[in-house]
């Protein structure tokens, strides 16, 4: 399989924009897509395709890439982090609009964003640092979906935590570690 051509990627988004009447979220996640998008290329998309209104940035290191994109497009394209929210605080400091991720406690991410928006960076950092070990634990490659489903099930938010085959389900030790981190983050009663 050949390396994706930037002009072909641009043409894809242009064609998509012509075919739909809703805003487009461009996802920059090369580890799964195989497509590497430079800040300059993302600025080209932002400038050249009006429907491409948002960016989900998952190309680490994300904070410096956010800074580079901001220098090129200003605030024209809101940027959302992903990657389990594990870089959210640094991303917000660099100009991201928030996070779009599967962390099982989205209210924590919302609280961090609210604290930053009202200028209480110390409160945002305290919340982030308290919850980061749990966020990292849930973000583990391979077992992360199983941990997230277990967390959502333990919160009563989904009926079943079983991961479809061939995905792994957390074992008893992993579940115990989740509960330890959940308690340390002050989220055991949620």
Q: For residues 71 and 76, what is the distance between their CA atoms, to the nearest angstrom? A: 11
Whole-number pLDDT of residue 180:
97
Q: For residues 163 and 152, what is the distance between their CA atoms, to the nearest angstrom? A: 12
Q: For residues 58 and 149, what is the distance between their CA atoms, to the nearest angstrom? A: 21
Low-confidence ranges of the chain (pLDDT < 70): 1-2, 190
pTM reported for the whole predicted model = 0.90
Among 153, 140, 145, 135, residue whose Cα is nearest residue 169: 145
* Start-to-end CA span in the chain (Å): 46
Q: For residues 47 and 20, what is the distance between their CA atoms, to the nearest angstrom? A: 18
Edge-to-edge order in the sheet of strand 24-28? 24-28, 52-57, 79-81, 98-99
Extended strands (E) in the chain: 24-28, 52-57, 79-81, 98-99
What's the pLDDT tens digit per position in 49-74? 999 999 999 999 999 999 999 999 99
Whole-number pLDDT of residue 2:
58
Whole-number pLDDT of residue 34:
87
Cβ atoms within 10 Å of 89's Cβ, excluding its own = 23
What the chain holds in terms of domains, given with CATH numbers, is 1-101 (3.20.20.70), 106-185 (no CATH)
Contact 104, 156 (CB under 8 A): no
Contact 54, 25 (CB under 8 A): yes
């Amino acid at each position: 399989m050949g390396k994706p051509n930037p002009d072909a990627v641009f043409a894809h988004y242009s064609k998509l924009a012509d075919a739909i009447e809703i805003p487009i979220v461009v996802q920059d996640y090369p580890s799964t897509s195989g497509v590497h998008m430079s800040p300059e290329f993302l600025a080209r998309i932002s400038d050249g395709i009006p429907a491409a209104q948002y960016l989900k940035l998952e190309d680490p290191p994300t904070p410096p890439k956010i800074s580079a994109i901001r220098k090129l497009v200003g605030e024209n394209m809101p940027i959302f982090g992903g990657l389990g929210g594990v870089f959210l605080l640094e991303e917000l400091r660099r100009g991201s609009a928030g996070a779009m991720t599967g962390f099982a406690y989205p209210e924590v991410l919302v609280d961090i964003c609210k604290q930053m928006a009202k200028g209480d960076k110390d409160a945002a950092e305290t919340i982030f640092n308290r919850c980061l070990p749990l966020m990292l634990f849930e973000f583990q490659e391979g077992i992360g979906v199983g941990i997230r489903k277990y967390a959502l099930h333990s919160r009563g938010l989904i009926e079943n935590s079983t991961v479809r085959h061939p995905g792994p389900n957390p074992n008893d030790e992993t579940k115990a570690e989740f509960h330890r981190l959940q308690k340390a983050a002050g989220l055991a009663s949620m």
